Amino acid sequence: MPIYTRTGDKGETSLYGGERVSKASERVETYGTVDELNSVLGVVVAHLGASQGPIAILLESVQGDLLTIGSILATPVVKDKSKVSNLGVVVEKFEDEIDAMTGKMPELHNFIVPGGGKAGAFLHQARTVARRCERRIIGLSKSDAVDISIIQYFNRLSDLLFTLARYINHIEKKKETKWNAK
């Protein structure tokens, strides 16, 4: 079976359930941005060393969440709320991870310039894409129902990704560059 269907050649796509919409619609832009974030996280995982297996496992779990959330966002009317019911638990797990990593690093007193090693730099990029996802989801929520737990998930995910970027750079002994306002 070929990957191409030719059904999108005129700028439309099908949502879950069959409704045809413009590929430029707010909903498609939103779940497309979630897909972009998932791809960036795949790059991060590819750059993690063998000693960072627990971080890779955490990020792969996030990637699974993003696929689920993308499918929810591609569905105009979500009848099965069970897909989002565990997101609150995941948000709490993110907070526990953030607290554990923060306790192992020097306290942050300044803004930092995104960068460091490859994995850290890509985690900073993932954080910015997560923030864009959050903005897109909030925009979509103004016209369509979006479960609040999805917004909370992305808000905390961006915090987790920032902390992971710092943590990876810390354990790899990559320098954090402090931002000096001019």
Q: What is the pLDDT along the chain (182 residues), one digit of tens a residue?
A: 888 888 788 888 888 777 888 888 999 999 999 999 999 999 999 999 888 999 999 999 999 999 999 999 998 776 666 667 789 999 999 999 999 999 999 999 899 999 999 999 999 999 999 999 999 999 999 999 899 999 999 999 999 999 999 999 999 999 988 898 77
Which residues partner with 21 through β-bridges? Answer: 13
Closest listed residue to residue 129, CA positions, set 32, 15, 24: 32
* C-beta separation of 37 from 66 below 8 A: yes
Query: How many CB atoms are closer than 10 A to CB 166?
Result: 22
Model confidence over 21-30: pLDDT tens digits?
Answer: 888 899 999 9
DSSP 172: T
DSSP assignments along 16-85, one per residue: TTS-EEETTSHHHHHHHHHHHHHHHHHHHHHH--GGGHHHHHHHHHHHHHHHHHHHHHT-SS---THHHH
* C-beta separation of 114 from 125 below 8 A: yes
For 22, phi and psi rounded to 5 degrees?
A: -65, 140
Give CATH for domain 26-178. 1.20.1200.10
What SS3 string covers 82-143?
HHHHCHHHHHHHHHHHHHHHHCCCCCCCCCEECCCCHHHHHHHHHHHHHHHHHHHHHHHHCC
Residue 14, pLDDT score? 80
> Using only C-alpha atoms, what is the Rg of the chain?
18
Residues 6+ positions from 182 with CB-CB distance below 8 Å? none
SS3 state of residue 12 = strand
